[in-house]
Structure 1
Amino acid sequence: MMNACLKAGSLLLLAGSLLALPVYAADPQLVALKAGRLIDVERGKWIESPVVIIEGERIKAVGSRLDVPEGARVIDLGERVLLPGLIDAHVHIASGGVPNGSVARNALKGVANARKTLDAGFTTVRSMAGGAFAGIALRDAINDGDVVGPRLFDAGTLLAVTGGHCSGPRYAPEVKIESPGVADAPADFVRKVREQVKYGADFIKICITGGFVSGTDPTTTQFTEDEVRAVIETAHRYGKKVAVHAHATDGVKLAARLGADSIEHASLIDDEGIRLIKSNPKQVVVPTLSAYGSSLDRAKAVGASPSTLVQLETVLAVYQTNVRKIIKAGIPVIYGTDGPPGNNASEFPLLVDVGLTPLQALQAATIRSAEFLEAANDIGSVSAGKYADIIAFDGDPLSDLGQFRQVQWVMKGGVVHKDTASR
């Protein structure tokens, strides 16, 4: 009887492990990927007639006209141009497009968003969270092979103050519904950070100033200094970086002075704020210029007041000037959109308009983002030892920025997820 039970248990365990196998698995044999050219984003140079040798999920060797190992499966992309998989460091992948949606609905919407994002050539994203850990559930589902999507770094739940930006929708006063990340005192924010860590957040995101589409004033800093300090010090104690949403001038400077790792938007920054960020070599700015266009469209769609629309249009012009100053000061800029999934390439021309070269914009979306995420050993360039996250174009995106919107071929971790030529 005991042996029968053990056998039955073993069969159940085996069945469970089979059900848990990824839907997509990297080719276990060697693969030789050929193309016309490959950009080495670390050195800023082209490799002509590249051959990328891939073993399983990772790259084994890269070079010009490398010999193809005996028995390797050859993928020949002809004259196509290869780039490393792109990185969008500011998305809301599991909350966008579902107003007041449940956690489950947001997670399911995130599945569709993840596919759109991967098809756009973005093989890694940093998600700024949403309601309550939907992004973490999506991240884990992608990692387990249950759904298809990019590598996902997620913040868990946005931290905000009562009535502040990211605090949740406004209902009648008697209807008490708030985002689970809302708190109103330093000690309470310490607890909120610990909750994010407990439930698997990769980093912490706080919204310390108002925003443009939440009905709050973007020129107002809503957190106290002690509250911001409590979040940053607690997160750093647990080894987690802190991303700070900040539009207001004094909010940007507060985040910079207290040691935020990334300042998102920084739209109303002044010269003093630029000097403060410049003084911390580890601090970066994620501009999200494209978000202003999409925010303006969303504001019009929901019937925002004329004053809100004028405010958005005015700030966009000011912000472009400020980002030019940020770039001129030599402050690291990381690629992020804060925009609709699948439209992730929208930031490239905007970054070039304000001072980056096309190569620098590409580096902001690849190796520089990977370094900031402390993942440069795994992603960010097509290099030996890293994941085989590679995309291909019919033309040269550095010569024609519009090509970034026309990704023809996408591989993530040695698995081809998109190939328009084969359809």
Structure 2
Amino acid sequence: MDTHFPFVDWFRHASPYINAHRGRTFVVLVEGEALGAERGEPLIQDLALLHTLGVRLTVVFGVRPQVEAALAADNIVPERANGRWVADAAVMRRVEQVAAQQRLWLEARLSLGLPSTPLHGVELSVVSGNLVTAKPLGVREGVDFDHSGEVRRVRAAAIDGLLDHGSLVLLPPLGFSSTGEVFDLDAAEVARHAAVALEADKLILLGESDGLRDEQGTLLRQLPPHDAAPHLERAAPDGELARHLQAACAAAREGVARTHLLSWRNHDALLGELFTRDGVGTMITRQRYEQLRPATLADVAGLLELLEPLEARGMLVARSRERLEHEIDDYLVIERDGMVIGCGALQLFDRTEVAEIACVAVHRDYRGGARGERLVEALEQRARTRGVGALFVLTTHTVHWFAERGFCPASLDELPPLKRDAYNHARRSKVLFKVLD
């Protein structure tokens, strides 16, 4: 008499996905609520299983509920603004303590190898460290956020090296600055930036919600970022779903092929999404059509729409329609599905081998995907073909960004005479130069 084992059928159906996921890079966000509940242990075992199946795994973990509990125990009520708490010295001390405790707990659970446990015989190398660079939020709308920060850069090369050596990488919601400071970060933003920087095949966000639903309550299995935008507008502005959906849409626009919204409350969510045909959550897939090309007069309206918010914030000098039309041949644009999402200009000066890179801008929904770098590199190449020996930029907000790309501080005297005479002293723009190879 034959004995039927249902799991054997599941295993047979899962085998194509096991093969497809081997060697792929996944970034998984696990919110603090998942680790604080009884779901924590099985979820960690599922993550370890993915690792043993050959997935290159980076895990970002949240600490919000644990920090809130620690603050409440000490009768500390943090100031809040724009959905974030102000991480002053007292708050930051608890954030650091809880993050360290959570990291150690995760490392201990991933090291468990007793014969009675699912991880028996599995040896995992778990690595964490200063892999995320951060910058302060600063003062916004009159609120000084102190040590609340935002992601500046993810050290993708370092993480890739660790993954290549078979390690599982843990990223806490913390970032480090070049001045030796530690900043409190949003875990969803850390996951998003990590996925983009690593060019991950998947970004998986485990939270309370099991995905997006239509007006009839039916779970939406798959949709592009454009169709997900209305759901973001309806979500509670400071809620977890809004944070996850914003990260998912941004990651999709910035090059991550697939982002999954899953609920940690469903014990089968992670494996069910990855190893079954229909999945159990919502998958957001990226739109692919994008090109960098010379601008034409037909792009002027799109350029005005792109530049206006940055001009209003004082980041760029205002440019009229007439000026853009007159200088349109100086511009390169990044177009995506008919929309101008990035631009930059190379402006030459008579009888000089020095040119200006100006008006480098990327739409806020498409930042983080190296589009700014692509624009500057293309403008530098255009300059070389035109015999330009050096470039300069005038900037008030992006000094560090240009410095990281080889531009060095310079004085006004080094500018071409026409540019020096037209310099706006009220803006106090910094001057940076770069000598081309």
Category of TM-score, reference length = shorter chain: under 0.3
TM-score under structure 1 normalisation? 0.28
Higher relative contact order (CA 8 A, sep 6+): 1
> Which has more radius of gyration?
2
More strand by share: 2
Structure-2-length-normalised TM-score:
0.27
